[in-house]
Amino acid sequence: MARDDSTVEQRLLARKAQLTARLHRIENNLDSPKPADFTEQATLRENDEVLEEIGSTGLEELGQIEAALRRIKAGTYGRCEECGEPIAPARLDIVPYTATCIDCSR
């Protein structure tokens, strides 16, 4: 079955919207005023560190999604950026923004 780039593009755009909304929520949470109680501040700081890590991971995925969208527009989506061979459809189904085949990702 041939891959439908427009379906992949819609899937990537939907994930991009989800991540963008999540990153905005994280940013708002991190920017919210902190309580004066030092015990609560310590707990919130630990939570902030977790949120920052989630945000960092989200930004990384967002960058990969944007790169995949550029590859779709360029007509190179689905080709490994390392070896030039086609990326297995099953891999693209699982990680639609991947830029490399399974062999080159190792």
- 40-71 tens-digit pLDDT: 766 777 776 777 778 778 899 999 999 999 99
Q: Would 45 be classed as within a structural domain?
A: yes
Number of domains in the chain: 1
pLDDT the model gives residue 86: 97
Q: Would 15 be classed as within a structural domain?
A: yes
Two structure tokens written together for 20: 């963008």
Entry pTM? 0.75
Q: Would 97 be classed as within a structural domain?
A: no
Question: pLDDT for 63-103, tens place per residue?
Answer: 999 999 999 999 999 999 999 999 999 999 999 999 999 99
Q: Would 98 be classed as within a structural domain?
A: no
Q: Would 44 be classed as within a structural domain?
A: yes
pLDDT at 35 over 70: no
Q: What is the extent of the structural domain holding 10?
A: 5-77
> Would you give the distance in Å from CA 2 to the centre of its chain?
25
